[in-house]
Amino acid sequence: MNPANRSKRRANFLNTNGMGSANFKAWSAEPIWKDAAHCTANLRPSFTGTLYNPHIGEAGRQLLAGLLMRLSDRQITDLFEVSRMAERQPASGASTADWVRVFKQKRDAVVSTRCP
């Protein structure tokens, strides 16, 4: 991969691994909500995807929040350890604990929001 493109990794048009692979800095900076007041999720389109900044109803938000809250700290840690997120981008310096911390922040954004 071209080093100039490393900081641009995120979901992308074709969902290719190079540009769509793990990037702690970019992922941690992306908010869950494009518009929290109206429960519009922050989801960019891709060629193979079908959603683009979808509106989330309160029932859907509650369902997702409930499922996310059922995950134990050990399960969340295991998720990031088994996917080797810390090793996929070692230059970021992000540890598994960092990935877990940001996941919990993102989960809290879902849990604490109320949809109209």
Q: Where are the domains of the chain?
A: 3-112
Per-10-residue mean pLDDT, the chain, length 116:
44 54 87 97 86 95 98 97 87 92 98 96
CB 91 within 8 A of CB 67: no
Residue 49 is predicted with a pLDDT of: 80
Q: Return the structure tokens found at 109.
A: 């954004």
- Select from 14, 21, 16 the least CA-distant residue to 6: 21
Residue 87 is predicted with a pLDDT of: 86
Residue 20 is predicted with a pLDDT of: 55
* Half-sphere exposure (Cβ direction) of 13: Cα atoms closer than 13 Å: 0
Residue 11 is predicted with a pLDDT of: 58
Residue 19 is predicted with a pLDDT of: 45
Radius of gyration of the chain (CA): 15
Residue 103 is predicted with a pLDDT of: 97
pTM equals: 0.79
Chain position carrying tokens 């809250």: 69
Alpha-carbon distances, residue 31 vs 68, 78, 109 (angstroms): 17, 23, 9
